[in-house]
Amino acid sequence: MVEERKFNSIIRMDTLLGKTKDELTQLAVGLGLPRFAGKQLAEWIYTKRATAFSQMTNLSATARSLLAGNYAIGRKEPIAEAISADGTKKYLFEVQNEDKKWYIESVYIPDNDRATLCVSTQAGCKMGCRFCMTGTLGFQTQLTATDILNQIFSIPDADKLTNIVFMGEGEPGDNTDNVTAAVNALTSNWGCAWSPRRITISSVGFLPGLKRLIEDTECHIAISLHNPFHQEREALMPVEKIYPLSDVIELLHQYDWQHQRRLSFEYICFEGQNDSLRHANALRRLLSGLSCRVNLIKYHTAPADNIAAEKQVRLKSSSTSQMEWMRDYLSNNGIITTIRRSRGEDILAACGMLVNTYEGKTS
């Protein structure tokens, strides 16, 4: 008995954010509440975005107190923010796994009438891409569906969001249960009723997880490609050793990317490494027959004083003119190609730069 109490004391209270309407109904019934309380809970959590049970005024006082005694909603505000000169904002969240605290980051990117949030799916990352600052952290913990949704719900700009990209810390294909649960809550009618076309999930090609993300969601998919040659890609991205790009492309050919759903390839341009005619031609051959587009991305190196600088492989970004040449060459050869504008580099919020470093708080 004493043992049991001790055990219970370190368990986190179960959270409601991320649960389906059916799960909410089950837990309401488990507390002796009527079944319709599940629907009410879903409305309070996903539509009205309640942050406390006391706000749920159409539930009885007894129901609210029972819920508060047994569950937490799961909403937590960010603990720090940094604002870039270009208007990009980076938020730091604290997450808890069992009895340990971790930090994660999300990036809010306003752009005229669009406002995109780049969310994390893991704290740190297992994939170890050698050019990525997040990769230097190693893997820290999986994020729960609550942790993922909380980034979207709890930033001050939550009401302005038009798009979500799962491109922050972590490989979404390595945390599929929680990513699909979060997407389900965002896109279901009982949840936020967002169109899945407002959501893009990125993957390095972690094959089993990628297959599930394609089949269990209707979101756009982005593949981090970065080099069309097996050995060269493997030197940069260890995932290539286990799940070669050729297998990823073969998998992608099995799905329809022509109707509504978009397939894109992310391609960071490294000077002298992957920006030559040889690479452009190989890329063209690799992607032929796939309805897709390519986004060329400037490489962001870790600042010399950042802890990631020691571990990150030393590469340089291609020049703007070389990226423009590559864009034009691919476009003229039938592959829609754009150069993605870099955002938030001055606050370490750009692609591959998330390492949870803020004054006094480092992962």
Known catalytic residues are 105, 351
Q: Are 59 and 67 in contact (CB under 8 A)?
A: yes
Q: How far apart are CA 153 and CA 16, in angstroms?
A: 13
Binding residue for ligand SF4, selected from 40, 106, 121, 134, defined by CB under 6 A: 134
* Enclosing H/E stretch for 141: strand 139-142
Give least dist CB 204 to ligand SF4, A. 5
* Enclosing H/E stretch for 267: strand 263-269
Backbone angles phi, psi at 137, to 5 degrees: -75, -25
119 vs 125, beta carbon nearer ligand SF4: 125
Which residues in 250-309 contact ligand SF4 (CB under 6 A)?
none
Q: How far apart are CA 107 and CA 353, in angstroms?
A: 11
Which residues in 107-126 contact ligand SF4 (CB under 6 A)?
125
Binding residue for ligand SF4, selected from 107, 109, 117, 169, defined by CB under 6 A: 169
168 vs 228, beta carbon nearer ligand SF4: 168
128 vs 244, beta carbon nearer ligand SF4: 128
Backbone angles phi, psi at 324, to 5 degrees: -65, -40
Decide: is 132 part of the binding site for ligand SF4 (CB under 6 A).
Answer: yes
Give least dist CB 160 to ligand SF4, A. 25
* Enclosing H/E stretch for 266: strand 263-269
Helical residues (DSSP H) of 243-276, grouped into ranges = 245-252
Give least dist CB 168 to ligand SF4, A. 8
Q: How far apart are CA 250 and CA 263, in angstroms?
A: 14
Which residues in 15-74 contact ligand SF4 (CB under 6 A)?
none
154 vs 224, beta carbon nearer ligand SF4: 224
Q: How far apart are CA 116 and CA 342, in angstroms?
A: 14
Decide: is 173 part of the binding site for ligand SF4 (CB under 6 A).
Answer: no
Strands 361-362 and 357-358, sheet pairing: antiparallel
128 vs 196, beta carbon nearer ligand SF4: 128
Strands 80-83 and 89-97, sheet pairing: antiparallel
Binding residue for ligand SF4, selected from 18, 74, 135, 344, defined by CB under 6 A: 135
Binding residue for ligand SF4, selected from 127, 186, 249, 350, defined by CB under 6 A: 127
Contact letters for ligand SF4, residues 188-227 (x by CB under 6 A): ----------------x-------------------x---
Q: How far apart are CA 201 and CA 174, in angstroms?
A: 12
Nearest CA to 182 out of 90, 46, 89, 285 is that of 46
Instruction: Calculate ∠ Cα 265-356-187, nearest 5°.
Output: 50
Give least dist CB 300 to ligand SF4, A. 11
HSE value, Cβ hemisphere, 13 Å, CA-based, for 352: 29
69 vs 138, beta carbon nearer ligand SF4: 138
Decide: is 171 part of the binding site for ligand SF4 (CB under 6 A).
Answer: yes
- The residue range among 9-17, 19-27, 129-137, 277-285 that interacts with ligand SF4, by the rule CB under 6 A, is 129-137
- The residue range among 128-136, 148-156, 315-323, 333-341 that interacts with ligand SF4, by the rule CB under 6 A, is 128-136
- Site size for ligand SF4 (CB under 6 A): 13
CB atoms closer than 10 angstroms to residue 195: 11
Q: Are 211 and 174 in contact (CB under 8 A)?
A: no
127 vs 323, beta carbon nearer ligand SF4: 127
Binding-site ranges for ligand SF4 (CB under 6 A): 125, 127-129, 132, 134-135, 169-171, 204, 224, 352
